Structure 1
Amino acid sequence: MEPSQLNVLIERDGYLAPQIPEIKRRYKVFRESLQKLQDLPGGVDQFTLSYREYGVHLNADNSITCLEWCPGVQGLSLVGDFNNWDPNSHAYKSLEFGKWRLEIPPNEDGSPLLKNGIVYKIAVKKNDQIFYKLSPWTTYVEKAKTNIYEMVFYHPQQPYQWRNSLPHNNGSLRIYEAHVGISSPEGKVNTYRAFADDLIPRIKKQGYNCIQLMAVMEHAYYGSFGYQITSFFAPSSRFGKPDDLKYLIDEAHGAGLIVLLDVVHSHASKNVEDGLNKWTCDDGGYFHSNARGYHSQWDSRLFDYTNLETQRFLLSNLRYWQEEYKFDGFRFDGVTSMLYHSHGLGDCFGSYDDYFGLNTDTDSVIYLTLANYLIQKYHPGSVTIAEEFSGMPALCRPIEEGGQGFDYRLAMSLPDMWIKILKHQQDEDWNIADIVTTLENRRYMEKNVAYAESHDQALVGDKSLAFWLMDKEMYDFMSVDAPFTPVIERGIALHNIIRLLTYGLGGEAWLNFIGNEFGHPEWLDFPRVGNNESFHYCRRQFNLADDPNLRYKFMNLFDQAMNEMEEKHQFLSRGPLY
């Protein structure tokens, strides 16, 4: 960090001056951490390509190579239908530093031992007991009849042939946040290919230039919205095969859209049998082995970001999704939870000391800085967004300035503001000065993603803006032939005004959650015991927006017009204006 670059940060915000020693210390730790990776055999390049080595791999000669890090256990073996699940048949060889390796030659006829579709697991032996686990590096899993996920060997004869080059993002970011599974008007789990064929043309026509995909990394519990990850390198098999996801991203690139992955490195599912938890048959492994390794509110496991193998796993994970699937960047989930030992729970963040004191988790700060540095090193121009509500200074500034290198943070206070207003204020009591102040209250020269409502508000138990505004009258009075009731007239008008105000003043990028562009009339509820495993609310009714006889079309057209205006004038990317 050059003094002149640090001075830029201080000149922008003089209140940071007392924090210079801590900013310099963080940067020093980052440089030391990066150098440690560079000093490893093969350097940081080979380190972040570890996904090509770890896990189970079929080689060109049909031999199979397996490599795992699993310290403190007696042994590992590969088991499955191919050897009648015999833990003594294909044992790994112990290496140094807790690593295990297995090499399997081709069959006598030259074919590989593992065939496409075969089910297999890793038998981990500890204290003379056998535990059947999934490789942390597995790239494809499917749900068994027992509802437990298991590894399924997936290796197409021909690798996917990419057809479209990556589009160039012009700086203005209009994000369509989407969940593949709920993207059909029908009550079912939709597929990657159906999304590509049916939704991408719609998203393009609507004026968006970026798709943000949630719930792609495999998660055993569907209702978690994709935030309780069980297999970090496996695209969810609910929506199709890995090549189907590549087809989706390829089609998006062909339409000129970039695609961001909702990546969850803030925590992991506590599932043991089909998750990363207790991979080493104890509380450690990739996680902290004490209370620091558990998130009480999320009921999940927390990574030890100082562990070299955890860094290998997570940093390789980012490079894997960009190199193998050509994602153009990431929305990092749960960043506030990562940044503080308290996970941000109960903190007021009323002083700069709250950001640079002992509550800040330096290990997480350094990991996020490394992640952003390496994302840009190998894929320059990638976009990274932090889900972060504390306002950590310099989080979205260049690393050389003393920042963490994110491009944007989500303006998480804005949806909360609108819901609070709709819940507690009459229309005539709206204080426009307060609204504008909240919309523009962000750190100078740190870009925000503005959004008027979040995906959480679409879930059962909460309400979207349209539902708050119009509620049950949406079921009876949305026909153009029906009486134009005051509730519907007000609802459509305020839906448009709220979104336009937020779009215009709230940030340097815009985000819309699938269906909100036309005021989707129902909540989102995943199939579960409480609703008799119903898919009725697990959908998006695009047919409503397309029906010329329904008033949903007016909100849909207004959303499209906002995007067209931004495309013409590029006001999002024009810099700050008072």
Structure 2
Amino acid sequence: MALVPAVATDEGYGVPDYRIRTEYEDGSIVVSDDSYRYLPTIGEMDMYLFGEGRHERLWDALGAHVLRYDDPMGSSEGVKDEQVVGTAFTVWAPNAHAVRVVGDFNGWNGRAHAMRELGSSGIWELFIPGISAGEIYKYEILNANNEWTMKADPMERSHEIPPRTGSIVVESNHEWNDADWLAERAAKDPHNGPVSIYEVNASSWRKDVNDYRELADKLVPYVQKEGFTHVEFMPLAEHPFSGSWGYQVTGYYAIDSRLGGPDDFKYLVEKLHEAGIGVIMDWVPAHFPKDAFALGRFDGTPLYEDPDPTRGEHPDWGTYVFNFGRREVRNFLVANACFWLDEFHIDALRVDAVSSMLYLDYSREAGQWHPNIYGGRENLEAIDFLKEANATAYKNNPGIMMIAEESTAYPGVTAPTDAGGLGFGLKWNMGWMHDTLQYLHEEPINRKWHHNEITFSMVYAYSEHYVLPISHDEVVYGKGSVFGKMPGNDWQKYAGVRALFAYQWAHPGKNLTFMGNEIAQYGEWDHDGSIDWDALEWPDHQGVQKLVADLNELYKTSPALWSQDFDPAGFQWLTSDDADHNTLSFVRIGKDGEQMVAVVNFSGEAWSDYQVPLTKGGKWTEVLTTDDEIYGGSGIHNGTVEAVEGEYHSRDWSAKITVPALGAVFLKPEL
């Protein structure tokens, strides 16, 4: 073996351009490039920012990146004046004794590709010529316990389809064409606009969909037809166990490979944007699984996970909890939020299991946790992390939303960070979901005794900025479908589903429903199956689907229903105490004075000559009723009614209408 020695230049001793020529005993000769003639690809500023926990584009510094160098000496085959193509590998493993890159390119023997440690940064790096996109690789680590282990790249951009566990080198070729969408998004405050969300599990929406591009072809026109403003995908970061629905993530920077690669998902996002539909993705920074190939004990120590056993493991889920107090770990997660928003043009992140991060005693008994430095139960490091993640995401991506799934009454979830809040834009209203479904589960004849359950949400409706969800969690594991939750015969069940949608869309707050709800499918969600699309062969299911589309259209074109969602001035009760009739009536008011009255009858009987208090005189027109025959209803209509002067329920005007059984009526005043 021979190589060219270092040479002196005017600037001093430099790294020469050389090749290694190896002659074997059989006489064969191999000329190869040498990884060690290439300088580190990560800069001093990158390492400094990472060490400080402030690298907002960490994915540009760590991970595997295809690079090209001008090569005046030629390629390893001796061809002159061609570029060297290779991949720079960079990984953080501060307690490792040695790190190697292994893959098919070296027969999974890392002796030829030992990585270099950069000072005290804990970062290891190596540029390997000849490796391009599509190569499978791992890191072979001599960990703190002097054990050789194989680990996937924490910053991998793609992953083998499980159960295989290798990382894949990626080079994106997607050219974005949604600049107009992003500019329009940045010019608006989405929290104060119409938000109607269709929650989707990408792998079980349709089983005849094989990848993200096929999903785009089928999902985009469907969502557009149904009129939703946003699609929310359950987690699509890489996860080894499909039964976790994506909530146990191993590859935080890798798109789920079961449906394709990063560019395939970018195609799906772009097609949704072209159709005027925003994209929300579930994000899971609360915990990660213990799979040996992934983040757990990455360099033989609790590197990403909290080393304190009372804080570092989640007792319910059997997973590790991140060390939110470590700068580099916090940086890994904050940058990850920015990664999905920046690289994939995601419009909002819904942050999963926020409550589990907020409290040290979450799912722990006495003696299994210890208080914070002030003697409280709050996880101060996790709270600081959430504030930083939200503030950084909003700063770097104008027009996005950060949404919390938070199930307690923790104060200020959607308050600004400079006012002591967590800085989320929206919060799932779990209390509304629970109370509403509990109320609707009762037989109509018994609902009068539970009337406070359907009205209680307005007591706290303005304590946070809420999304009203009927989510995947409510239609799985024996809980039954939304249709199945309704009491009565089939007609009453369909009517009950229609009344629920109308009530939800009229109530203050943004709206979310899970796939399959919009067609009132019989069975609950099965992640190994698909939505029961065959149900649409029946008119009643078609009717519910048609109602959802019409509700979305009415909602989007009626500022009264969304422009003051978070202002008490946007809602007034007309009758909240009519428990005997199981009926509610209220008016929604837009910021420019627009009005929409909703009357919802949760009883099993229609009420004729039902007197509704109104806010002003003149004519009021029925703009939608869930009892329309086109939706599968009985066909009760009110047309236009005249408000009569005279005090009723503290209002100066009222009108008598017919309210259908298990139905809702929307009335709009004529100008």
Counterpart for residue 89 of structure 1: 112
> Does 2:252 correspond to 1:262?
no
Q: Distance in 2 between matches of 1:357 and 1:421?
A: 39
Counterpart for residue 181 of structure 1: 203
Q: How does 1:412-423 map to 2 (within 5 A)?
A: 412-423=430-441
Kindly provide the amino acid, as one letter, of the partner of residue 520 in structure 1: Q
1:566 CA drift (Å): 1.2
Q: Distance in 1 between matches of 2:548 and 2:46?
A: 47
Q: Distance in 2 between matches of 1:210 and 1:438?
A: 28
Q: Distance in 2 between matches of 1:207 and 1:526?
A: 24
Counterpart for residue 534 of structure 1: none
Task: Label 1:194 to 1:44 Cα distance change in 2 as closer, same or farther (>3 A).
Answer: farther
How many pairs are equivalent? 494
Looking at secondary structure, tell me which structure has more strand per residue.
Answer: 2
Counterpart for residue 59 of structure 1: 67
> Does 2:102 correspond to 1:79?
yes
Task: Label 1:493 to 1:83 Cα distance change in 2 as closer, same or farther (>3 A).
Answer: same
Q: Distance in 1 between matches of 2:220 and 2:198?
A: 10
Kindly provide the amino acid, as one letter, of the partner of residue 563 in structure 1: N
Q: Distance in 2 between matches of 1:440 and 1:330?
A: 26
Counterpart for residue 483 of structure 1: none
Counterpart for residue 93 of structure 2: 70
Select 1:358's aligned residue among 365, 376, 391.
376
CA RMSD of aligned residues (A): 2.7
Q: Distance in 2 between matches of 1:39 and 1:219?
A: 28
| Contact 1:65–1:101 under 8 Å retained in 2 | no
> Does 2:162 correspond to 1:162?
no
Higher alpha-carbon Rg: 2
1:130 CA drift (Å): 1.2
| Contact 2:220–2:275 under 8 Å retained in 1 | yes
Task: Label 1:214 to 1:563 Cα distance change in 2 as closer, same or farther (>3 A).
Answer: same
Which has the higher relative contact order, 1 or 2, with Cα contacts under 8 A spaced 6 or more apart?
Answer: 1
Q: Distance in 2 between matches of 1:455 and 1:345?
A: 25
Deviations 1:520-553 (A, max 9, x none): 22222334xxxxxxxxxx21133533x3x43101
Looking at secondary structure, tell me which structure has more helix per residue.
Answer: 1
1:557 CA drift (Å): 1.4
Where does structure 2 lack aligned partners over 5 or more consecutive residues?
A: 1-44, 70-84, 367-371, 573-671
Counterpart for residue 532 of structure 2: 541
Runs of at least 4 residues of structure 1 off by over 4 A?
37-46, 344-347
> Does 2:56 correspond to 1:48?
yes
Q: Distance in 1 between matches of 2:255 and 2:265?
A: 8
Equivalent residue of 1:203, what SS?
helix
1:326 CA drift (Å): 0.5
Counterpart for residue 531 of structure 1: none
Q: Distance in 2 between matches of 1:371 and 1:387?
A: 15
Select 1:247's aligned residue among 228, 243, 267.
267
Counterpart for residue 518 of structure 1: 519
Kindly provide the amino acid, as one letter, of the partner of residue 389 in structure 2: A
Q: Distance in 1 between matches of 2:532 and 2:268?
A: 21
Equivalent residue of 1:88, what SS?
helix
Q: Distance in 2 between matches of 1:46 and 1:57?
A: 21
Q: Distance in 2 between matches of 1:58 and 1:287?
A: 33
Q: How does 1:449-464 map to 2 (within 5 A)?
A: 449-451=467-469, 453-464=470-481
Select 1:339's aligned residue among 353, 358, 370.
358
Counterpart for residue 104 of structure 1: 127
Q: Distance in 2 between matches of 1:159 and 1:246?
A: 7
Counterpart for residue 16 of structure 1: none
Q: How does 1:470-549 map to 2 (within 5 A)?
A: 487-505=489-507, 507-527=508-528, 538-545=529-536, 547=537, 549=538
Task: Label 1:391 to 1:334 Cα distance change in 2 as closer, same or farther (>3 A).
Answer: same
1:116 CA drift (Å): 3.2
Q: Distance in 2 between matches of 1:102 and 1:318?
A: 24
Q: Distance in 2 between matches of 1:436 and 1:279?
A: 49
> Does 2:331 correspond to 1:312?
yes
Counterpart for residue 225 of structure 2: 205
Task: Label 1:38 to 1:413 Cα distance change in 2 as closer, same or farther (>3 A).
Answer: farther
Counterpart for residue 572 of structure 1: 562
Q: Distance in 1 between matches of 2:265 and 2:477?
A: 28
| Contact 1:204–1:257 under 8 Å retained in 2 | yes
Deviations 1:64-114 (A, max 9, x none): 3222111212110000110111121111112234523323253xxxxxx22
| Contact 1:393–1:443 under 8 Å retained in 2 | no
Q: Distance in 2 between matches of 1:497 and 1:345?
A: 39
Select 1:124's aligned residue among 135, 138, 141.
141
1:435 CA drift (Å): 3.1
Q: How does 1:542-561 map to 2 (within 5 A)?
A: 542-545=533-536, 547=537, 549-561=538-550
Counterpart for residue 465 of structure 1: 482
Q: Distance in 1 between matches of 2:364 and 2:497?
A: 31
Q: Distance in 1 between matches of 2:210 and 2:365?
A: 38
Kindly provide the amino acid, as one letter, of the partner of residue 544 in structure 2: M
Q: Relative to structure 2, which stretch is displaced further, 401-410 or 165-174?
A: 165-174
1:460 CA drift (Å): 3.6
Task: Label 1:64 to 1:240 Cα distance change in 2 as closer, same or farther (>3 A).
Answer: closer
1:567 CA drift (Å): 1.1
Deviations 1:182-223 (A, max 9, x none): 111x4x564211221111111122121111111211111001
Counterpart for residue 300 of structure 1: 319
Where does structure 1 lack aligned partners over 5 or more consecutive residues?
A: 1-36, 107-112, 348-353, 471-485, 528-537
Equivalent residue of 1:551, what SS?
helix
Counterpart for residue 370 of structure 1: 388
Deviations 1:133-186 (A, max 9, x none): 001101100136xx2321122325x343434533534622111111111111x4
| Contact 1:496–1:558 under 8 Å retained in 2 | yes
Q: Relative to structure 2, which stretch is displaced further, 283-292 or 393-402?
A: 283-292
Q: Distance in 2 between matches of 1:359 and 1:500?
A: 40
> Does 2:406 correspond to 1:388?
yes
Equivalent residue of 2:160, what SS?
strand
